[in-house]
Amino acid sequence: MQYRSLKKPEDAHVRERMRIVMNHKRLKRIYREESLQVRPRKRRRVRLVRGNAVPPPTRLNEEWGLDFMHDRLLNGRKVRLLTIEDRLSREGLALEPNFSITGLRVTETLDDIAAVRGYPSRVRVDNGPENISMAMLRWSVRHGVELHFIDPGKPAQNAWIESFNSRVRDEFLNASAFWTISEMREASAAWLVDYNEIRPHSSLDYLTPKEFVETLTTDPTPQLQVA
């Protein structure tokens, strides 16, 4: 910084010469050191909802529920499971075990499901780090999917996926033991087929999710991008 000693700073011409001399590199460095915003951030066009003020779905793919579970292999290693369910049909869309599940991995699984059945209108999630990650926010913008966050500490607002998780826990995880993640993945895929195609559900008038879907007449949900 350079200053000049002047006798009459009230003069306009003199005040102009008293300006601090600073190039753009120094300005940016000061902004970074003080954690200031160098450039204005772009507004993200993310469709976010919070709470429970959303009516029940009336068609397939209107709302998916998403959650995570935890378990261990026989060697003691921790495993996480990503669970996804269609709220209307009660179809289990994903039961994916992995050692680590990042926000990016969640979006990849959602894309895999959407490649078969299309993208949902909204996904109901909790406030976990994977769900609030930039990968998840970008995915919601890219595909026009609304992220519906439940209120913190209120899992009952996502009771449908919690019910699905309880069946996974009682009928799959507690009833089986696995040495490797590959064994768990193979068994989880078989269990999901049984859940969707063999087992009747009282909430569906004792139809299986597959049978219930066959009774519906649906139109594809409009999306910004379809797999």
| pLDDT tens by residue, the chain, 227 residues | 454 444 455 555 555 555 556 666 777 777 677 766 555 454 445 555 655 667 778 889 999 999 999 999 999 999 999 999 999 999 999 999 999 999 999 999 999 999 999 999 999 999 999 999 999 999 999 999 999 998 888 888 888 899 999 999 999 999 999 999 999 999 999 999 999 999 888 888 889 899 898 888 654 554 544 44
DSSP the chain: ------S-TTSHHHHHHTSPP--HHHHHHHHHHTT--SSPPPPP---EEESS-SPPP-STTSEEEEEEEEEE-TTS-EEEEEEEEETTT--EEEEEEES---HHHHHHHHHHHHHHH---SEEEE-S-TTTTSHHHHHHHHHHTPEEEEPPTT-GGGGHHHHHHHHHHIIIIITT---SSHHHHHHHHHHHHHHHHHT--BGGGTTB-HHHHHHT----PPP-SS--
